[in-house]
Amino acid sequence: MSTRQHVEILPPHPLRAGYDRSLERGSIADDFQRRLEPGNFTPGYLDALTVRVEQALRQQPSDETMRWRLAFLLLQNNATAAAVERAGELLAGATLPQAVRLAHLVAGIRGRAELPRTGRRVRRVNWSINNRCPMSCQGCYNPFAAEQIDLAQADRIIGKLAAHGTTDLVLAGGDPLLWPPIFDVVDHAIDAGLKVGLDTTGYTLTAEKLARLRGLSSLRLPLDAVTADVQRAFRRSPDDRLLDALLESLALCDAEGFDRVRVHTVASAENLHQLPELAAEIMSHPSVAQWVVFQWWGRRASPATVRRLGVAVEDVRAVLAAIRRDFPDREIHLAESSERELLNWMIQSSGQVVTFGSGPEEEFILGNLLTDEVEEILTHPILDFEAMSRGIPVTPGTVFDPAEGPAEGPSAGSVEGSAEGPAAGSR
C-alpha cells in the first residue's frame, strides 16, 4: 500500500514561473501580471488597479499596452454592457497580439448582446469549494481564492442554486475531501434535489469516506499515466508512490461496488503515447462508468510549460479514435481546449463566481453568491449560454436535453469534442 501523506497546500499561482521578474515591484506592470493570484483576484484589487491604469493612460493616451491593460481590467471585474463597449473602444485598431486576441473576445461578446439574458437557467455549476490540494499540477488552471467559506455559507449557496433550478453540481477544489464539511454539503445538495458529482484527487479516499458519498451521481478520479515518473511529474506530488495511491482509489471503488466513477485524464505531449495502455487499465475497473480525456490547456501556464506540454488536438483525436475502436461500448469523451471557452459558471471557495476565456489570463468575475442572486449574475454580458450548454451532465450515460436538462443518452463512445470545465482531477 502507498503511504498517503495528508498534504494540504494552497497551490502557488501557476503564472509565477512566467512572471517578468525585471519589473519593479509595485509598478502597474507588475501588479497587473500578479492580478490573478489568489489574494488579488477580487473586485477591490482590480478596482484599485483600474484607477491607476486610467491615470497612466490620461498621461499617455496612445500607449497601446496601457489601453490593453485597461480593457482587460474592465472586462474582468463585474463588467457591465458599458464596460464592454469601453473595452471595445480601447482596443480599436489593436496591433499587439494580446490586444488583437482581446478585441476578438469583445467582438463575440458584442455579437451576443441582443440575445435574451432574463429567464435563463444555469443547469450545471462547477464549484471549487475547497482552496487546498495535495498536488500542484503542471499548468493548473483552477482559480484558487484566498478565502474559504464555511458550512452555513455553503448551505445558503446550495439553497440559491436549487431555487434557481440548477440540476447538476460538481464539487471540486483543490480537493474537496480535504475540507471536513464536504460530506454535509453533499448531503444537503442531494436533499435539495441536485445531482452531485465530486471531483477529487482521490488521494485521501477511504472506505469510510466512500460510504458517506454513496448518494453521488458520479465520483471523479484522476489517472494520467501508466508509469510512476510521468504520473508524479505531471501532478507534482511529494509522494513518490502517487500512481499506486491513484490506482488504489480505483480498486477501492471496485471493491465497494461504487460503479459511478468518472476517470479524468489530461492528455499532454508527455503522456500521449501512454493513452492506449492507460485506456486498458481504466477500462479494466468495473467501477468506471465514464472516461473524460482533457486536452492539456495552458491557459495559466508559463510559456516554457506550454512548449513542453502542449499537444495538438488532432493528435489526441487520432489516439482516442483507435481507443474507441477497441472499446466501442464504453463512454469516452474528449474535452478539447477550444470548446471550453466561456463554458464554465464556476463558484470559487470564496463564493465569487467566475468564467474563463481560452486565452492567457482570461478570467472574468461575474458576481458573488454570498451577496448576489443567481438570476442577477446570469445577466452578465460576458456569459455565452450556447457554450455553457455544451457541458457534460454529472450522471454518466446521460446528455443534456436542449430544453429540459439531463436525459438518458447513448453510450458516448462515439462522442467527439465534448466540452468540460476545470476541476480537481482535470488540471
User: pLDDT 10s digit of each residue in the chain, 427 long?
Assistant: 444 555 565 555 544 556 888 999 999 999 999 998 888 999 999 999 999 999 999 999 999 999 999 999 999 999 999 999 999 999 999 999 999 999 999 999 999 888 777 778 899 999 999 988 888 787 777 778 888 999 999 999 999 999 999 999 999 988 999 999 999 999 999 999 999 999 999 988 999 999 999 999 999 999 999 999 999 888 888 788 889 999 999 999 999 999 999 999 999 999 999 999 999 999 999 999 999 999 988 777 778 888 899 999 999 999 999 999 999 999 999 988 877 778 788 999 999 999 988 887 889 999 999 999 999 999 999 998 888 887 788 888 877 665 544 444 444 343 334 445 544 444 4
3-state secondary structure 32-82: HHCCCCCCCCCHHHHHHHHHHHHHHHHHCCCCHHHHHHHHHHHHHECCCHH
Backbone angles phi, psi at 89, to 5 degrees: -65, -40
Say if residues 1 and 248 touch (Cβ distance below 8 Å). yes
Question: So what's the pLDDT on residue 301?
Answer: 74
- The residues with which 171 forms a beta bridge, in sequence order, are 127, 198
Question: So what's the pLDDT on residue 20?
Answer: 83
Question: So what's the pLDDT on residue 413?
Answer: 40
Q: What angle is formed at CA 218 by the lines to CA 375 and CA 298, rounded to 5 degrees? A: 70
Contacts of 200 (CB under 8 A, 6+ apart): 172, 173, 175, 176, 177, 219, 220, 221, 424, 425
